Amino acid sequence: MSGQAKPTENMLWGGRFTGGLDPLMVQYNESIHFDRALFAQDITGSIAFARANAKAGIITQDEFNKLEQGLLAVKKEWEDGTFKIVPGVDEDIHTANERRLGEIIGKDVAGKLHTGRSRNEQVATDMRMWLRDELRKIEKHLQDFLNVTAARAEQEIDVIMPGYTHLQRAQPVRWSHWMLSYGFAFASDLERLREVIKRVNRSALGCGALAGNPFGIDREMMSKELGFDGLLWNSMGAVADRDFVAETLQWGSMLMQHISRWSEDLIIYSTSEFGFVRLADAYSTGSSLMPQKKNPDSLELLRGKAGRAFGHMAGFMMTQKGIPSTYNKDLQESWEPMLDHVKTVSDSIQIANGVLATLSIQPEKMKESLDPFMLATDLADYLVRKGVPFRETHHISGRCVALSEQTGIPMDKLSYEQLKGIDARFEEDISKVFDYEKSVEMRSAKGGTSKACVQEQIQVLKSMIA
């Protein structure tokens, strides 16, 4: 390769290597096509590092000023879309930025930027800064979704629907109670997210390749400048740690599981067989063949994306499980699942919010689906209040159900004499049991579906959001 630069010549690690790389290996090794998303964090971290080196006397103030001005110029090129990536040279965002910095301010000064710094600490710092900022955006999206849930629960609190277990009609509940059942699951996700952000927001900068920095750099000063909550306290652990990525993927998988189940319920409720809800046109599609179809594609995609999110988590944890201590190149496999996971989760929350905000409900269809059999427990509870042991009342109520099935008479239409024939302790006020509104109001212990309980739950949810 006489007269030409060797493929390794401009690499940050190139001095020890004299042979060229397999071109496929160059591509296989490169991460610039995805880690370019972190250009702003890389430049911000580099400025903080240069400032700390100036304070430590490793570079002069004039050199720092040139480095800062040059780095801001590189950042502007990224922002304007004019930055030109050099294939085979710009192996990652760090290499690309430093290469361009040298072209702008000269290699003599640009070459001092990396003094005492390793890409091992640099990449960990960039990822943590980017992920922290993105998770804070996701936190806001999740708060917005929960606010819509709480608002609808307040507005539609008088609507009663069938509650289901095993997808079989069980007991009447308030529509708001159903919304809040998921609302509290998402609120728990919000609490967990806030804990994840605390562990993400720790600084690795100043840890070197693995053993620490030899120039007495002020890590705490850099940490504060970059908005971190504190330091990672062991340099070996700091450069190897991707638990913050794995924990984010675990968190997102849990959230997406909840979104998937929420979506499944709404898919079922939107069918013509149920007809409880109607999706807005903005979140539905039609059929290419059947003009009558209105498909809940938004909800089906949310349900499907849950599998994608779980795949990110499971795949990366398998990558991590056998890696020896400190940095290994396997950890590059944390980038793509992290980037895609964050986008998938962020988009999914916003879509779910849009679906719920524009959804219309059909209270009459919900009411029509209520069945007197759903009050069988109320029938048993009636006798409990007469002093009859519950196990006995459960059996008696079951006999009332059987009589209704045998005669074809709805349970609420059975005569007093028929009920009295099953158990003499039934009195004429038994007819008052067959009232769906009364049934939900009887569930008045905290967490129940009575109006007062649901109103209390809404206030609790609001406090969790805030």
DSSP states of 177-233: HHHHHHHHHHHHHHHHHHHHHHHH-EE-TT-TTTT--TT---HHHHHHHTT-SEE-S
Q: What is the pLDDT of residue 4?
A: 42
3-state secondary structure of 361: strand
Are 189 and 314 members of one domain?
Answer: yes
Q: Is 287 among the catalytic positions?
A: yes
Domain with 396 in it: 372-451
Amino acid at 363: P
Residue 22: pLDDT band (50, 70, 90) is confident
Q: Let me know whether 331 and 431 are in one domain.
A: no
Q: Is residue 16 part of a domain?
A: no
Phi, psi of 170 (to 5 degrees): -120, -70
pLDDT, tens digit, 9 for 90 and up, residues 107-155: 999 999 999 999 999 999 999 999 999 999 999 999 999 999 999 999 9
Contact between residue 50 and residue 222 where contact means Cβ atoms under 8 Å apart: no
Query: Which amino acid appears at position 9 of this protein?
Result: E
- Do the domain assignments include residue 466? no
Kind of pairing between the strands at 168-174 and 160-165: antiparallel
Among the listed residues 31, 94, 118, 166, the single catalytic one is: 166
Q: What is the CATH number of the domain that holds 45?
A: 1.10.275.10
For this structure, is 258 an active site residue? no
User: What pLDDT shows up at residue 16?
Assistant: 54
Domain boundary among 368, 394, 429: 368
Tell me, yes or no, whether 8 lies in a domain: no
What is the model's pLDDT at position 265?
98
- pLDDT > 90: percent of the chain: 90
Within a domain: 199: yes
Residue 459 belongs to a domain: no
Question: Does residue 225 lie in a domain region?
Answer: yes
Q: Are 322 and 288 within one domain?
A: yes
Q: For residue 23, what pLDDT is reported?
A: 79
Last residue of a domain, one of 302, 337, 368: 368
Q: Which of 33, 287, 325, 395 is catalytic?
A: 287
What is the CATH classification number for the domain harbouring 424? 1.10.40.30
pTM: 0.91
What would you report as the CA-atom Rg of the chain, rounded to the nearest whole angstrom?
A: 31
* Claim to verify: residue 106 and residue 123 sit in the same structural domain: no
Name the token pair of 417: 């004499």
For 198-237, what is each residue's pLDDT tens digit? 999 999 999 999 999 999 999 999 999 999 999 999 999 9
Residue identified by tokens 């702003």 is: 40
Mark whether 234 and 356 lie in a shared domain: yes
Residues 260 and 394 in one domain: no
> How many domains in the chain?
3
In a domain, 254, yes or no: yes
- H or E element that contains 172: strand 168-174
The torsion angles phi and psi of 173, rounded to 5 degrees, stand at -140, 165
Containing H/E element for 174?
A: strand 168-174
pLDDT in tens, 341-377: 999 999 999 999 999 999 999 999 999 999 999 999 9
Domain assignment present for 6: no
Render pLDDT for 379-422 as a digit per residue (tens, 0 to 9).
999 999 999 999 999 999 999 999 999 999 999 999 999 999 99
Mean predicted confidence (pLDDT) in 263-273: 97
Tokens of 244: 């913050």
Tokens standing for residue 37: 């998303």
pLDDT in tens, 316-334: 999 999 999 999 999 999 9
- pLDDT band per the 50, 70, 90 thresholds, residue 25: confident
Burial class (CB in 10 A: 0-12, 13-18, 19+), 94: buried
Residues 308 and 343 in one domain: yes
Instruction: Kindly indicate the confidence band of residue 285, based on its pLDDT and cuts at 50, 70 and 90.
Output: confident
What CA–CA distance (Å, rounded) separates 162 from 172?
5
pLDDT value at 293 more than 70 = no
48-62 pLDDT, tens digit each: 999 999 999 999 999
